[in-house]
Copies of this chain bind each other. A is one copy, B any other.
Amino acid sequence: MRILPGTSSTELGLNIASNLKIPLLELEFKYFVSGESYLRINGSVENQEIIVIQNTSPPQEKNLMELLLIASTLNELGAIRVHCLVPYLCYARSDKRRLTGEVTSHQITLDLIHKSGIDSLITANVHNPEIFLNTNKELKKYNIDCTQLLITKLEQSKGKDWFIVGPDKGRYNEVRNIAQNLSKPFATLDKYRDPHTHKVSVQDTGFDCRDKDVVIVDDEILSGGTVFAAIEILKQKKPSSITYFCVHALSMEEVFDKMKQVGVTDIISTNTIPRTDIEQLDITQLLSESIWENFL
């Protein structure tokens, strides 16, 4: 068993390998002037089981392509099994064909991963776990819930009276789980997305969080349309503070700046998408455990 840190996850790969005391395989890479990637795997892989650690965070297609190139090559070079750890799985949002002719990129991405010779995939907080787990049964899949890290973080905080809020009903189970773990109340707002215009509207569901420390729990953030609508509704309920948490912090810095301007006290994410402008909870230990459990 060896760990191969990919182009987009060098540091995470090194940390997980050191955590689990698994020997490393080195990847040599550079970019041609055209922008295409040159990749070379240094070290023997024949009859070895390899874990590739490669995020498909932005630029998604480049990072995914490099994962597919690495996996195919490991197979060509005689690896007996290839696993991959992809903290943020790209293209997972388009998982249902709502309108005729729509491309459901989630399933196609999983197929590409499997067809490139990957046997199993660990990812974190995939957009729709049910669809994820029921697509391409030949590819073994594990979805790690990083909100565990949030629970630990909230448990450790002192003098705060938490109230957990989901910005839409899709987050109900996740939000209930966090609230139950903390023995705190929770609620979800109601979100509607127009399938044609993709416009989102958010409605109040009549709960009371006055003088509570509200935590909005999200899976990923892009433009923040839903969240800003949610924040407006929450502010009218006069909470003591509003904390915003998301697993995958994909958005531009401006979105977080604007969030602070409208009254959000703290912004936290995991480092499934590493960045330095907000507080991040480290996924290394959690993902190491998942590799230990599922691959070793």
Contacts and interface: CB of A to CB of B under 8 A. Distances in A.
A73 B41 contact: no
A33 B104 CA distance: 17
A75 to B, nearest CB: 10
A59, A99, A103, most chain B CB atoms within 10 A: A103
A231 interface: no
Interface stretch (A61-69, A143-151, A280-288): A61-69
B40 A103 contact: yes
Given A41-B101, A101-B40, A101-B77, A111 B72 contact: yes
Contacts of A105: 36-37, 39, 69
A6 to B, nearest CB: 12
A91 interface: yes
Given A32-B222, A250-B34, A73 B115 contact: no
A61 B62 contact: yes
A112 interface: yes
A291 interface: no
Given A61-B62, A111-B72, A112-B112, A32 B101 contact: no
Interface string A19-58: 0000000001000111111111111010000000000001
Contacts of A90: 34, 36
Nearest to A224: B33
Interface residues of A, number: 49
A90 B38 CA distance: 12
A26 to B, nearest CB: 9
Contacts of A73: 101-104, 108
A68 B103 contact: no
A252 to B, nearest CB: 8
User: Closest 9 CB pairs between A and B?
Assistant: A61-B61, A33-B222, A41-B101, A39-B103, A61-B65, A61-B62, A72-B108, A33-B223, A73-B103
Interface of A: 28, 32-43, 45, 58-62, 64-65, 68-70, 72-73, 76-77, 90-91, 93-94, 99, 101-105, 108, 111-112, 115-116, 220, 222-223, 250-252
9 contacts: A33-B223, A35-B58, A40-B99, A40-B101, A41-B101, A45-B101, A59-B62, A73-B103, A115-B115
